[in-house]
């Protein structure tokens, strides 16, 4: 009499556990599986359809620029690695490569921040502030990021 009841209790506990877990994680699981990153922005920052379309357009326009910067970073890194391997002292070529890498980094950060601000401009003011706190802080160079956290 008690054994079937115990099995039923265990089954109910397991079923409600999985039911609640799957129900509560449904949205995030769907968004993680979705390749479209604007879907997450739309939900997280409560974008209207029009805002979401504008952000999607911005992202599509920015994509080639981002790829180009990735290529610049890779080339700059490779160039510096080669020069460092072949140099025992500071050479003019190495100095140029270091300056080039710094310029690339600065250009990338500027472009990233421009894009982040452009995206946040399409959001409601309170959501835009939240977006900037969440995203811009991750995109800054390390010392600036440290300062920003300290000044929060």
Partner 1 sequence: MNDDPQLRKLLQESLPDVPVPARFGAEVWQRIQARAEAPAKVAWARFFERLLAPLGRPAFAAVALMLAAGGGAAIGSLRATGANEQARAALVERHVATIDPYVRLTVAR
Using H for helix, E for strand and C for coil, what is the string for 67-121? HHHHHHHHHHHHHHHHHHHHCCCCCHHHHHHHHHHHHHHHHHHHHHHHHHHHHHC
* Nearer Cβ to partner 1 (75/99): 75
**CB of 66 vs partner 1, minimal distance in Å:** 5
> Closest distance between partner 1 and the C-beta of residue 57, in Å?
14
Q: Which residues contact 42 (CB under 8 A, 6 or more apart)?
A: 51, 52, 55
**Is the CB of 94 or the CB of 130 nearer to partner 1?**
130
In sequence order, what are the residues at sequence separation of 6 or more whose Cβ sits closer than 8 angstroms to the Cβ of residue 107? 69, 72
State which residue, 42 or 97, has the beta carbon closest to partner 1.
42
Give whichever of 44 and 93 is closer to partner 1, judged by the CB atom. Answer: 44
Residue 61 C-beta: closest distance to partner 1, Å: 12
Query: CA 133, CA 115: separation in Å to the nearest integer?
Result: 14
CB of 90 to partner 1, least distance (A): 25
Contact footprint for partner 1 (CB under 8 A): 1-2, 5-6, 8-10, 12-21, 23-25, 28-29, 31-32, 37, 40-41, 44, 59, 62-63, 66, 69-70, 73-74, 105, 108, 111-112, 115-116, 119, 134-135, 138-139
Cα(147)–Cα(152) distance, integer angstroms: 9
Closer of 27 and 93 to partner 1 (Cβ): 27
Q: How far apart are CA 12 and CA 79, in angstroms?
A: 62
């Amino acid at each position: 009499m008690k054994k079937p009841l115990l099995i039923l209790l265990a089954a109910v506990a397991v079923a409600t556990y999985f039911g609640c877990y799957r129900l509560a994680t449904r949205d995030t699981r769907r968004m993680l599986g979705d390749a479209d990153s604007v879907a997450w922005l739309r939900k997280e920052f409560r974008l209207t359809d029009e805002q979401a379309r504008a952000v999607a357009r911005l992202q599509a326009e920015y994509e080639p620029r981002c790829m180009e910067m990735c290529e610049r970073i890779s080339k700059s890194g490779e160039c510096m690695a080669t020069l460092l391997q072949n140099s025992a002292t500071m050479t003019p070529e190495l100095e140029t490569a270091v300056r080039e890498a710094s310029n690339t980094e600065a250009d990338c950060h500027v472009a990233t921040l421009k894009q982040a601000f452009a995206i946040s401009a399409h959001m409601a003011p309170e959501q835009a502030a939240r977006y900037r706190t969440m995203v811009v802080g991750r995109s800054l160079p390390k010392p600036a990021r440290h300062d920003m956290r300290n000044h929060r």
